[in-house]
């Protein structure tokens, strides 16, 4: 780790579903000792759909926010619907305002690249100085860099490396 620990960590190198599973495992480990706000992505589970965007689940209270429109089997259009992400963002902003140690946001993707979706949740966490753990879709790395550089570090999808980052930012926050 650098002498200065960056407060935003981006996990890359595996599929989105693998990252979300890893995030669930880490939340389970960290929650007894840390207040974690944010959202985890869940697939919609519908067969024969072009994209898997389904729901965002609140880490704080388990609320489920739909982020898709069911366009029917075999549809070639992406069914992503930002209304649910907007509602989820408002909930995360409230959670940040009440205090948390970490904000975990499922990913920075298509909606966030256009400054919609969870973009305001990222902005709120950055403004509050709260560490952020997220992933970035490879197609949106340039938009992510424009949004958050130089405040982030990219980590491989390795729980030991993510744990080390978390302990550094958490310990650093406790000292200050």
Residue at token pair 């898709």: 68
Task: State residue 100's pLDDT score.
Answer: 97
Residue at token pair 């408002």: 90
Residue at token pair 């907007």: 86
How far apart, in whole angstroms, are the C-alpha atoms of residue 44 and residue 85? 14
In a domain, 155, yes or no: yes
User: Could you give the C-alpha distances from 17 to 14, 44, 69, 120, 169, in angstroms and in order?
Assistant: 8, 12, 20, 23, 25
pLDDT band of 55, cuts 50, 70, 90: confident
In a domain, 1, yes or no: no
Task: State residue 173's pLDDT score.
Answer: 62
- As a whole-number percent, the residues of the chain with pLDDT over 70 amount to 82
In a domain, 2, yes or no: no
In a domain, 147, yes or no: yes
CATH of the domain at 170: 3.40.50.300
- pLDDT digits over 129-169, tens only? 999 999 998 999 999 999 999 999 999 999 999 999 999 99
Q: Considering its fold, how many domains does the chain have in total?
A: 1
In a domain, 133, yes or no: yes
30 is in which domain, residue-wise?
Answer: 8-175
- pLDDT digits over 15-51, tens only? 988 999 999 999 999 998 999 999 999 876 555 556 6
Q: Hey, what are 71's tokens?
A: 């366009």
Enter the pTM of the model: 0.89
In a domain, 3, yes or no: no
- pLDDT digits over 72-109, tens only? 566 555 566 778 889 999 999 999 999 999 999 999 99
In a domain, 14, yes or no: yes
Task: State residue 172's pLDDT score.
Answer: 66
In a domain, 151, yes or no: yes
Task: State residue 32's pLDDT score.
Answer: 87
pLDDT band of 2, cuts 50, 70, 90: very low
């Amino acid at each position: 780790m650098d002498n200065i620990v960056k407060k935003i960590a981006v996990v890359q190198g595996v599929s989105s579903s693998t990252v979300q599973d890893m995030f669930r495992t880490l939340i389970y480990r960290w929650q007894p000792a840390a207040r974690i706000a944010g959202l985890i992505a869940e697939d919609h589970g519908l067969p024969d759909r072009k994209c898997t965007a389904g729901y965002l689940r609140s880490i704080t209270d388990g609320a489920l926010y739909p982020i898709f429109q069911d366009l029917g089997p075999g549809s070639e259009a992406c069914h992503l619907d930002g209304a649910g992400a907007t509602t989820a963002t408002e909930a995360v902003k409230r959670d940040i305002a009440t205090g948390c140690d970490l904000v975990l946001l499922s990913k920075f993707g298509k909606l966030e690249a256009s400054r919609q979706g969870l973009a305001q949740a990222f902005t709120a966490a950055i403004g509050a100085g709260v560490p952020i753990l997220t992933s970035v879709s490879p197609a949106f790395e340039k938009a992510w860099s424009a949004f958050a550089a130089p405040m982030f570090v990219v980590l491989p999808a390795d729980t030991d490396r993510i744990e080390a980052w978390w302990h550094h930012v958490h310990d650093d926050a406790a000292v200050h």
